[in-house]
Amino acid sequence: MASDALASPTDTAEPPVLLTGAAGHVGANLVRRLLDDGVRVRVLLRPEDNNESVEGLDVERAYGDIRDLEATRQAIAGCHRVYHTAALVSTIDGDDAHRRDVFESNVIGTRNVLQAAREMEAGRVVVTGSFSAVGYDLDDSSIPTRETMPFYPMERTMPYERSKAMVETECWHAAAGGQDVLIATSCAVVGGNDFFPSRMGRTLCDFANRKLHAYVDGGFEFVAAHDIAEGHVLCMERGRSGQKYIFSSEYQTISDMLDHFQAVTGVKRPRRQIPLGLMLPFAELSSRMLSRFWPSYPQRFTPGAIRLLQQCRHADTSKAKEELGFQPTTIRSAVQDAYAFHYRREAITNPNAMRPEALTAGSE
């Protein structure tokens, strides 16, 4: 593993924290939040990845892969805390190679981070969890999900969901052995610093560029990017060891999200709604064809994503609010942040789309 430490005004006697996954949506926002707080940060990056998210940031860089235990040890050495946000996020079932990649990246990667943190005596580890891997009431999925609800493995789930449930098992096994570890459970993230971009970021750009002509019903819990970054910091500073906390800003239907998109972009929303019951068999056929013949082609509405929307799951965030003082913002503001970010990156090509500056001026 190669590394290069950058000269930094925060380069003091205070040891750094390690952040994995800085290239991702959660990590890109968390690293900026930590730097704003004056925290010395070391990021673990894969050299073959697009690491644009940390360009120009005053961070130490270590290069390696969390699937490599020795590289992970070297990255964590000398750090006193760890934020583990790295994960392979996917809503497709994929082939055997894809499923193995998901398992090794998420489960083995987390196991390595936890083991390396123990061996390097790095202290508290906060691991990013997924709301899709938290259980729900099987008789009424609209009942708000709490941290104590067990993941139900008997229904058809995505490899990603199963892997993140296994990640939680790795964390609780480590906690049972005395390691200081917590889980910050994230819902679907919306906001800026979305460099890849995320599924919701791509959908927003498609909307603004008039490429979204219909939508499906259903709903899910969404979290503003700065809220989930705040949640990780709250877990690190105030959380109880061995606990899980769910972070969400608001539950939104897809129709709600399109209303936000219209208000922020100035582009009229589509009115044609496709029932999920009709969309699901089409998505399943499309997914099989794409996975077999065009595996690199992006799939927007996968069967797994549609099944999640069908459940209309709500989150109970009272534990994070009462124990950590979590105060979520709004999804409207998160959509504004996301749109401004993608507009600056020239991903919005529709000349009739609203300029973010006009939106800000109109809200003052």
Distance (Å, rounded) from C-alpha 13 to C-alpha 354?
Answer: 47
- pLDDT at residue 12, as a whole number: 53
Distance (Å, rounded) from C-alpha 128 to C-alpha 132?
Answer: 12
Q: Which one, of 109, 130, 97, lies nearest residue 20 by Cα?
A: 109
Half-sphere CA count of 186, side-chain side, radius 13 A: 26
The pTM for the full model equals: 0.92
**Alpha-carbon dihedral sign for residues 350, 49, 98, 114:** negative
- pLDDT at residue 235, as a whole number: 99
Q: 95, 77 in Cβ contact below 8 A?
A: no
Q: Which one, of 63, 54, 62, lies nearest residue 28 by Cα?
A: 54
Distance (Å, rounded) from C-alpha 183 to C-alpha 226?
Answer: 17
Q: Tokens in use for 264?
A: 């922020």
Cβ-proximal residues to 269 (8 Å cutoff; 6+ apart), any chain: 207, 258, 259, 261, 262
Instruction: Write the single-letter amino acid at 242.
Output: G
- pLDDT at residue 281, as a whole number: 76
Give me the residues paired with residue 204 across strands: none
- pLDDT at residue 361, as a whole number: 43
- pLDDT tens column, 168-215: 999 999 999 999 999 999 999 999 999 999 999 999 999 999 999 999
**DSSP-assigned letter for residue 144:** P
- pLDDT at residue 234, as a whole number: 99
Q: Which CATH number among 3.40.50.1000, 3.30.70.260, 3.40.50.720, 3.30.360.30 corresponds to the domain 3-192+220-253+313-330?
A: 3.40.50.720
Distance (Å, rounded) from C-alpha 303 to C-alpha 310?
Answer: 10
First to last CA, the chain: 49
Distances (CA, A) of 363 to 306, 337, 356: 34, 14, 11
Cβ-proximal residues to 190 (8 Å cutoff; 6+ apart), any chain: 200, 222, 223, 224, 225, 249, 331, 334, 335, 338
What are the domain boundaries of the chain?
3-192+220-253+313-330
Distance (Å, rounded) from C-alpha 16 to C-alpha 338?
Answer: 29
Q: What is the DSSP string of 64-108?
A: --TTSHHHHHHHHTT-SEEEE-----------HHHHHHHHIIIII
Q: 359, 336 in Cβ contact below 8 A?
A: yes
Q: Which one, of 53, 67, 148, lies nearest residue 345 by Cα?
A: 53
**Residues in the chain with pLDDT values less than 70:** 1-12, 291-300, 358-364
- pLDDT at residue 286, as a whole number: 74
Q: Is 57 left (phi over 0), alpha (psi -120 to 50) or beta?
A: beta
Provide the strand spans (E) within the chain: 3-4, 17-20, 41-45, 60-63, 81-84, 125-130, 181-186, 188-190, 215-216, 219-224, 244-247, 250-253, 273-274
